[in-house]
Amino acid sequence: MNVRKMLTVAEVLHTEDHPQRTCIGCRKKGARSELLRLVAEGSGSTAVLVDERRRMAGRGAWLHPSEACLALAVKRRAFGRALNGATGSAAVERRIMAGKQDAGPLRMPPVAAAKTVQPESGSEN
C-alpha cells in the first residue's frame, strides 16, 4: 500500500539545508516541525510565548512539546538563558497540556481557546 505523506519533494530536499534545532529541555536535536518555537514577549515582559507559526520576530528557543522537556527546561532555567531573561513559561505549559489532550483530529475546545491570559496588573512604570 502506498501511504502518501504530506511532504513535497522540495520540503524533503530542504531538510538538509536546515540545521536541526536543539530542545532547551532535553538538549536533543529535532526537526523544526517537531519542536515548538518559543519567543520572549519582550517590552519589559518576562512572558514566554509559543510561536505557533514559527515566524515571530526575535530570538527564539526550541522545545519539544512534552511535559518532560518542559520540566527540564524550567528546572535548568533554560528559558531565561535562551530568551534573554524571559522566564514566564505559563503559556508554554498551557500549550503543552492542550496538545496532550489533543490526541485525535479534534481541536482544542473553544472554552480553553477563548481563555485569555491575564497579565499581572500593577506593572511598574
With contacts defined by CB under 5 A, how many residues of the chain interact with Zn ion? 5
Q: Residues 21, 37, 64, 95: which binds Zn ion (CB under 5 A)?
A: 64
The grid coordinates of residue 106 equal 479534534
The smaller minimum CB distance to Zn ion, of residues 26 and 56, is found at 26
User: Binding Zn ion by CB under 5 A: which of 21, 25, 49, 83?
Assistant: 25
Name the minimum Å distance from CB 69 to Zn ion.
Answer: 3
Cell numbers 519582550 correspond to 42
CB 59 within 8 A of CB 113: no
Which residue carries 485569555 as its cell?
A: 116
Question: Rounded to the nearest whole angstrom, what is the least distance from the CB of residue 2 to Zn ion in the complex?
Answer: 32
Dihedral sign, Cα of residue 93, residue 98, residue 102, residue 106: negative
Amino acid at 30: G
26 binds Zn ion (CB under 5 A): yes
Q: How far is the CB of 29 from Zn ion (least distance, A)?
A: 9
What's the chain's length in residues?
A: 125
Chain positions contacting Zn ion, by CB under 5 A = 23, 25-26, 64, 69
